[in-house]
Structure 1
């Protein structure tokens, strides 16, 4: 299983890792209004020139060129090349995406839901890889709920929770034990009482076995606690 805080380094060499500012528009907080304002500077942890190589041509530039680095997780061009329809992706892509979303949380409105950060957040996201399949588990720290967000439907004759076997139970036990060890007993007790819920998704199907990693990243980016159809 791969947690949000996991790190995977890919590539034998960490060369060509200059982090260049490009012309990609992003958003930064406006201290006066709390709203976001556009900027022409790329985030420092994204190598725009190298990332264009990934999108433009598989034969352009070195496969070991670093396209993402934020001093916590880094990823090379080689890691991102399989990002195509119906091609399995590596866990390192999920780790880099989780790290990138953590950085983007700094740009959120003060009135919007805080996500990803441990302990102080109302919800914690865990990208999971089990049995060669990716899905998302969200712990709601104050609602005593654990939500499973998965683009793959279980067989009709299988209970929705049965599909995940003991993986979710082990994750829940370890998360509970972590907060108990830190003497955060209220949080530990909330996790212990949390019920499992598989979030219904209108786009979930049982036939697509390859694109689950891309669905996982999209769910991590967009889910803020609303219904799966939204």
Structure 2
């Protein structure tokens, strides 16, 4: 079954908007696990506008499932990952000032940099994933870096879902098949939600994990966190909301 990793960045955004420690992101991570999440994802950015580096240090000892740290590999991020040693690091190509991740790596262009980073992280026992789009040649270059997994950037799927979901899912199926044939594990994330997730999961049942934050935290405002996580896990079994 596809695992659900909950990205708790938006909970940190809410906390930071008021100051103090409400909501407590460490407690939210504990609750997500207690309610059935199979992983916790964080994406610390240099300006610490949501998850802070100190949050990552606080989260590591309490996570009982898997901790996934996403981010652009500036030196402070690399140092953080090597110190914390999460289960997984996901390298994304977003510049420090972007609002959210909006593209995958051009692996060929950054091949030497990414290969060195993969060697560094895997050498420390950290599973490594590269955030990519569905271009098949690019996925082949990703495999050459030695990475353990790729994470497919799913915003194009989400954008096309309502107009023609069969057309929208097709390149993701092909990309995931190619990655699997190359020995790569496949994750997915970005703009997956209760409306489009079940269809996605039913067509790519062999992928390892989805990372979902913004939509899940927004849904929790209506349904509550426990019920929301249950709804997302049902989608991952191919059951619509």
Q: TM-score range by the shorter chain?
A: under 0.3
Whose relative contact order is higher, 1 or 2, with alpha carbons under 8 Å and at least 6 apart? 2
**TM-score normalised by L of structure 1:** 0.26
Instruction: State TM-score, norm by structure 2.
Output: 0.25
Greater share of helix residues, 1 or 2?
Answer: 2
Larger radius of gyration: 1
